[in-house]
């Protein structure tokens, strides 16, 4: 069984990226599952907080990722780059630095995103590449899914209603699961 962890980089209740993550979870191929992780309980990184003890939300998420087959980051694009809340969560997940290997090294990771803008989240996805390289993940870059004008792809209930995007998402998730499966068989 392939178990992926998915994280939305937005905390907004009506987030297009959280809606995209939920849609991905509903389109997983047979023999795989996508569990949605929540980063809303992770505080802003502060070394003083860390020295007092790792927040439970961080420890729980690190353990979930470490025991997973792969990681799906669903990233908004803010000011042509990475969203602060998702970068903050990743920064916490690398503390203490001894945990980086357990959580990230060699872990298959991929990135998707949704934006109401005309270019999707291409710049944010590109900005994540140096972070993934630094953490020595095993990024899957064969597929690309940056949903542009996403406010028209979802209805007011957050359901994916655009058939073209639905097909692209299904194909993307099938490709990533195949990649993860091949890596597990090495």
**Residue 79 has which token pair?**
């000011």
**Residue 41 has which token pair?**
């309980």
| 39, 74, 88, 119, 179 from 57: Cα distances, Å | 8, 19, 13, 33, 29
Alpha carbon dihedral 42, 48, 51, 56, in 10-degree steps, equals: -20
- Count the domains in the chain: 1
Can you give the pLDDT at residue 143? Answer: 82
Q: What is the per-residue pLDDT across 115-130, written as a single tens digit (0 to 9) for each? A: 999 999 999 999 999 9
C-alpha span between 139 and 98 (Å, rounded): 21
Q: What is the per-residue burial (b if ≥16 Cβ within 10 Å, else e) of 46-73? A: eeeeeeeebeebbeebbebbeebbbbbb
Q: Identify the domain containing residue 52 by its residue range.
A: 2-184
pTM recorded for the entire structure:
0.97
Q: Which residues contact 163 (CB under 8 A, 6 or more apart)?
A: none
Low-confidence ranges of the chain (pLDDT < 50): none
Can you give the pLDDT at residue 186? Answer: 55
The CATH number given to whatever domain includes residue 93 is 3.40.50.360
Burial class of residue 175 (count of CB atoms within 10 Å of its CB; 0-12, 13-18, 19+): middle
């Amino acid at each position: 069984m392939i178990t992926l962890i998915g994280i939305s980089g937005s905390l907004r209740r009506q987030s297009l990226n959280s809606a995209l993550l939920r849609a991905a979870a509903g389109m997983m191929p047979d023999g795989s599952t996508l569990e949605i992780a929540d980063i809303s309980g992770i505080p802003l990184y502060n070394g003083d907080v860390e020295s007092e003890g790792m927040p439970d939300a961080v420890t729980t998420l690190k353990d979930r990722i470490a025991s997973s087959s792969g990681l799906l980051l669903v990233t908004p694009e803010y000011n042509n780059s990475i969203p602060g809340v998702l970068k903050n969560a990743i920064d916490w997940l690398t503390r203490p630095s001894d945990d980086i290997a357990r959580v990230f090294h060699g872990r298959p990771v991929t990135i998707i995103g949704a934006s109401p803008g005309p270019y999707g989240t291409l710049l944010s996805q590109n900005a994540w590449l140096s972070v993934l390289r630094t953490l020595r993940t095993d990024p899957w870059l064969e597929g690309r899914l940056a949903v542009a004008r996403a406010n028209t792809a979802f209805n007011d209930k957050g359901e994916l209603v655009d058939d073209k995007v639905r097909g692209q998402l299904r194909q993307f998730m099938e490709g990533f699961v195949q990649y993860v499966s091949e890596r597990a068989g090495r």
